[in-house]
Amino acid sequence: MNSSIGISEPQVTRELALDHGLTEEEYDRILEILGRTPTYTELGIYSVMWSEHCSYKNSIAVLKTLPRTGERLLVGAGEENAGLVDIGDGLAVAFKIESHNHPSAVEPYQGAATGVGGIMRDIFTMGARPIAGLNSLRFGTLDDPRARYLLKNVVRGIGDYGNSFGVPTVGGEIYFDACYRDNPLVNAMSVGIVRQGETARAIAAGVGNPVMIVGSATGRDGIHGATFASEEISEESESRRPSVQVGDPFTEKLLLEATLEAIRTGYVIGIQDMGAAGLTCSSMEMSAKGRVGMDLYVDKVPVRETGMSAYEIMLSESQERMLLVVQKGHEDDVRKVFEQWDLPATIIGYVKNGGRVTVYEDGQVKADVPAESLVLGGGAPVYVRETREPSYLKDVRNPDYLNFPEPEDYNSVFLDLLASPVIASKRWVWEQYDSMVRTNTVSTRGDAAVVRIKGTSKALSLCTDCNSRYVYLNPRRGGQIAVAEAARNVVCTGAIPIAITNCLNFGNPYDPEVYWQFKEAVAGIGEACRAFDTPVTGGNVSFYNESGSSAVYPTPVIGMLGLLNDVSGKMQAGFRAPGDHIFLLGTNRGDIGGSEYLRIRTGRISGDAPNLDLSHERRLQQLCLELIEKKLIQSAHDVSEGGVAVALAEACLWSDVANTGIQSGVELFGSVRADFWLYGETQSLIVISASPSAAADVLGLSRQRGVPCQSIGQVTDKGMVSIGGKISLRTQILREVYEQGLASALGE
């Protein structure tokens, strides 16, 4: 075996294995599995497959505690490239969210672009046509030029890729906190539709069936991208720039059309996109799943550079490629489809018995490994790490954070809130995304985006959500809140929450405090998902989001899928008509821990996360859906960052009626401090409005369902926002501040 190694390849030693990011124990296991020293190519294969990014070795044991079953789930979490959810009418939704944080930290434009490309491929490799993209972004504060640079280029990267690819970017979220300065988070989500029974699987089967590579030629870009994603950001990260892949949305568009057409021929046995760890990951996972092996001839792989070794070809993360197993005798039928779209489709190997993947180069064996030994759920290592409650928690929860006076001027602090980039309109960002292509986007304004499904009366309601400050202050409750708020968001559009995908962004799992955050947050997500009956269909874990000595806030982003059975029943967030009565559903306790208001007033992220009672939240959401279904309300808008005051302002600004304002009474606050009532971020609150004739019914139904419903005023067309005798500002002023906030912070 060793005799077949090319003379230019390094000698494999224990030191080289450690350099590849493997541990001593992992290297020992490789020696045991193979019964010999691995070749250089094999070392590369094991190192990427056992990297955190591909193996989930430090997360899978914890992830398995999440609820992952439900009557709508057609494919369980982790079984295929994305979750698959039954939405009736013979249709299913494939959806998933994934991180591209590290590439975006060093090369924001390409990092973000290929993040979009990668997640789109995960969807169409299942035979589903992507119909919407979302993204969840975190950057440092915008007074920092690095943060501005990263934001501008990440947004351009997402836009250029998604716009050209022709899938609308319909929603998402953006937050700014200093902890993300060097390690931004770029999470991309894709949602696709497929007819049940027409899905494709990521499996190899049928001895003798050819293995085809289709799409772009293979280059040296992205080698060890998966390994790079599995270490912290440091000063050396800049030298990792070549680990970042380069995106080509045009080729991806061709690949999309060709792939869907090829799957429809019925001759595609299995197909998997090449993302992290490229040809290695796709061939090993497909083989392991089918309990077969493959002979692969890397010299057949179309390359875009000369002199590429087996090691490089196996590890390349060049984008816009797919691996197919095709029914023998129908190679030409499949090839013809790809050629119609000017894409090469090349046979590079064959399925064989025995479970080993053998890699040949010029007739020489370069690697010969049991596929099962490499994959998650097979021989990949599984670790449960040590945990320790973080020491910072005591400090941040010290109740002295409440010791600051009421504001002298409620109006000016309100304008400060509306101008804060965390709260202000993200128009500057989303106008750079094509949100309308394919003419399915019913609404992007509000708590969640609504996308109709042509040929049915249905629509999907989609959002991403995570307030990482809450998770930092209380990981378990913060995890619960992320799910609860995402569910509340889709509920406010009239949709039933049906399933989630998650992207868990954390620091170094070998740090016991980070691992404690991780375990707690996942536990919280699990509890909330059980409460709302929204199983986890899959997602992604991104560890090592650190720079210097500090980790980012624990950021478990939830991607929520909601279903509207009848799109005509969609609810809007903006007020609809002057004279309508405004109500607040839920109990406003004035929780200000972790709020943007607290940060503005004290400069601190402190306190405990807002309270959350899952059964109360569930009742609130069911009431809201019932009010919508019975056509008793005109608008519904979730209360989140900036509190009730900001929610009321947004409902005015999002109204289709000019000069919409509100007039409320002065007896709003009860025993709660006025600023905490107005600007606190109490959970389980929804601002609704109802026509005067329906107001009594709204109150009555709320009482019956045991959910407090506070009357807080009326919608006007006077162009003034007057709340509780504390705030009195012209709607037009609010609009200017809210619309300009982000652009001003960017210096535009």
Partner 1 sequence: MQKVKFGILVFPGSNCDHDAHYAVSSVLNQEARFVWHKESSLGDVDVVVIPGGFSYGDYLRCGAIARFSPIMQDVVRFARAGGPVIGICNGFQILTEVGLLPGALLRNESLRFVCKDVYVRVEQAGARFTSACAPGEVLRIPIAHGEGRYVADAETLRRLEGEGRVVFRYVTPEGEAVPEANPNGSMNNIAGILNEGGNVLGLMPHPERACDPLLGNSDGQKVFQSLIQSFAVHETVHNLS
Residue 432 is a binding residue for partner 1 (CB under 8 A): yes
Q: Which is nearer to partner 1, 56 or 433 (CB)?
A: 433
CA–CA dist 471, 556 (Å, integer) = 8
Residue 433 is a binding residue for partner 1 (CB under 8 A): yes
Choose which of 16, 142, 253, 739 interacts with partner 1 (CB under 8 A): 253
Which position has the token pair 């995890």?
479
Chain centre distance of CA 572: 24
Residue 109 is a binding residue for partner 1 (CB under 8 A): no
Choose which of 27, 165, 267, 516 interacts with partner 1 (CB under 8 A): 165
- All residues at 6 or more sequence positions from 716 whose CB lies less than 8 Å from its CB, including other chains: 578, 579, 660, 661, 662, 663
Q: In the bound complex, what is the minimum distance in angstroms from residue 670's beta carbon to partner 1?
A: 39
CA–CA dist 543, 509 (Å, integer) = 6
Residue 735 is a binding residue for partner 1 (CB under 8 A): no
Closest CA to 44 of 307, 367, 292, 378: 367
- Which residue of the set 20, 53, 581, 637 is catalytic? 53
CA–CA dist 234, 176 (Å, integer) = 21
Residue 3 is a binding residue for partner 1 (CB under 8 A): no
Residue 747 is a binding residue for partner 1 (CB under 8 A): no
Asked if 552 contacts 629 with a C-beta cutoff of 8 angstroms, the reply is: no
Q: Which is nearer to partner 1, 217 or 672 (CB)?
A: 217
CB atoms within 10 A of CB 37: 17
CA–CA dist 238, 215 (Å, integer) = 29
Choose which of 150, 179, 498, 567 interacts with partner 1 (CB under 8 A): 567
Residue 254 is a binding residue for partner 1 (CB under 8 A): yes
Choose which of 384, 436, 666, 696 interacts with partner 1 (CB under 8 A): 436
E strands present in 238-354? 268-273, 293-297, 321-326, 345-352
Q: Which stretch binds partner 1 (CB under 8 A): 95-103, 214-222, 424-432, 735-743?
A: 424-432
- All residues at 6 or more sequence positions from 373 whose CB lies less than 8 Å from its CB, including other chains: 33, 379, 380
Closest CA to 223 of 100, 310, 328, 340: 310
Residue 439 is a binding residue for partner 1 (CB under 8 A): yes
Closest CA to 557 of 174, 228, 288: 174
Site for partner 1 in 645-674 (CB under 8 A): none
Q: In the bound complex, what is the minimum distance in angstroms from residue 120's beta carbon to partner 1?
A: 13
Q: Which is nearer to partner 1, 701 or 743 (CB)?
A: 743
Choose which of 101, 435, 555, 640 interacts with partner 1 (CB under 8 A): 435
Closest CA to 173 of 458, 378, 467: 467
Residue 458 is a binding residue for partner 1 (CB under 8 A): no
Total count of residues recorded for the chain: 748
Residue 213: helix, strand or coil by DSSP?
strand
Q: Which stretch binds partner 1 (CB under 8 A): 113-121, 441-449, 612-620, 688-696?
A: 441-449
Q: Which stretch binds partner 1 (CB under 8 A): 41-49, 92-100, 250-258, 626-634?
A: 250-258
Residue 171 is a binding residue for partner 1 (CB under 8 A): no
Choose which of 442, 491, 499, 695 interacts with partner 1 (CB under 8 A): 442
Q: Is 581 an active-site residue?
A: no
Residue 569 is a binding residue for partner 1 (CB under 8 A): no
**How many residues sit close enough to partner 1 to count as binding (CB under 8 A)?**
32
Chain centre distance of CA 182: 20
Q: Is 102 an active-site residue?
A: no
Choose which of 110, 153, 443, 634 interacts with partner 1 (CB under 8 A): 443
Letter string b/e over residues 391-411, b meaning 16 or more CB atoms within 10 A of that residue's CB: eebeebeeeebeeeeebeebe
Site for partner 1 in 325-344 (CB under 8 A): 341-342
Chain positions contacting partner 1, by CB under 8 A: 156, 159-160, 163-166, 248-251, 253-254, 341-342, 430-439, 441-443, 452, 454, 567-568
Return the active site residues.
53, 100
